[in-house]
Amino acid sequence: MKAKRVPRHGTRAPSARLVVLTGLSGSGKSQAIRALEDLGYFCVDNLPTVLMPMLAELTLRVGSEIEKAAIVVDVRERTLLAGFPKVFARLQRMRGLNPSLIFLEASDDILVRRFSETRRPHPLRPGGSLAEGIKEERRLLAPIKRLADVVLDTSDMTVHELRQAFMAIARGSAGPRGPVVTFLSFGFKHGLPLDADLVFDVRFLPNPHFVPRLRPKTGRDRDVAKFVGQFEETREFIERTSALLRFLLPQYANEGKSYVTIAIGCTGGRHRSVALAEALRRDLAGLEGFRLRVHHRDIASE
């Protein structure tokens, strides 16, 4: 990755309550804000500068639904240039907020190419020269760039590389780096889950439904899990599937994917799929950098 990250004033990772994202038009702010949304930030695009302290105060209130927020500001906000430095200084003085300012930029030729590909006019020169608009914006934003904690040059980045780099900056050194992985049990009789990235069919395994003492129970019960797990086919399925996922999940992470849903289906979604979803989650619990969870869609449908 050739893009450069330039720390300013000691890089503060946006584990802080407020992230302010700004930079040149066409530098990748849209992709960056999506990365912040995936990290759980309440995101506001083009919020007037004078309202920033109000949003910051909401994140500081005990019991507030907004625990952390991100604001995208650029030259579309007419009060940005004159009022931003003063407002940001006020945010920095707010106890417990620890705001972080990230500035995105790119070379002139890359920005011209990106605008040409999207056929969008430059916001400062809607009917004029694109090159002049970029030059003027760079000059106007220079004082704000000097305030930034992180300056990220996206010139040589693909969309996936930008997303990956920005999420790495946003997470800092804390927390998992990979996507949230959901092991989703379901019953084929109730339909395929539409949000599944991978689907495994475990209807080849013996069905506890036909064992009278196990029928009213679910795959979460020890007796059902023991019944399903006693077969060689079950053990081999877990071993082979875990090996496949240990290969695939880092590839998903490298592509910047934030959520991966692995669906395991049986007939009704109560016994085999539930037991196997739980078993796979346990088997992959040591996979560093991933957040694993289990959801049983149809466990109560029968």
At 77 the pLDDT is 67
Tell me how far apart the alpha carbons of residues 35 and 43 are, in angstroms, rounded to a whole number.
10
Residue 6: pLDDT band (50, 70, 90) is very low
At 79 the pLDDT is 62
Quick check: 154 and 104 in contact, CB under 8 A? yes
Top pLDDT among 123 and 269 is at 269
Tokens matching residue 13: 């990772």
Tell me how far apart the alpha carbons of residues 70 and 122 are, in angstroms, rounded to a whole number.
24
Residue 7 has pLDDT above 50, yes or no: no
Tell me how far apart the alpha carbons of residues 114 and 66 are, in angstroms, rounded to a whole number.
34
Residue 87 has pLDDT above 80, yes or no: yes
Average pLDDT, the chain: 83
Q: Kindly report, as residue ranges, where domains of CATH 3.40.50.300 are found in the chain.
A: 5-171
Tell me how far apart the alpha carbons of residues 193 and 265 are, in angstroms, rounded to a whole number.
9
At 263 the pLDDT is 97
Q: What is the pLDDT of residues 207-258, one digit of tens each?
A: 999 999 999 999 999 999 999 999 999 999 999 999 999 999 988 887 767 7
**Domain over 5-171 is classified CATH 3.40.50.300:** yes
Specify the range with the lowest mean pLDDT, choosing from 109-113, 131-135, 144-148, 173-177. Answer: 173-177
Q: What is the pLDDT of residues 11-59, one digit of tens each?
A: 344 445 788 888 888 888 888 888 888 777 888 888 888 888 888 888 8
Q: What is the mean pLDDT of residues 128-139?
A: 83
Q: The pTM is what?
A: 0.56
Quick check: 261 and 196 in contact, CB under 8 A? yes
Residue 184 has pLDDT above 50, yes or no: yes
Residue 9: pLDDT band (50, 70, 90) is very low
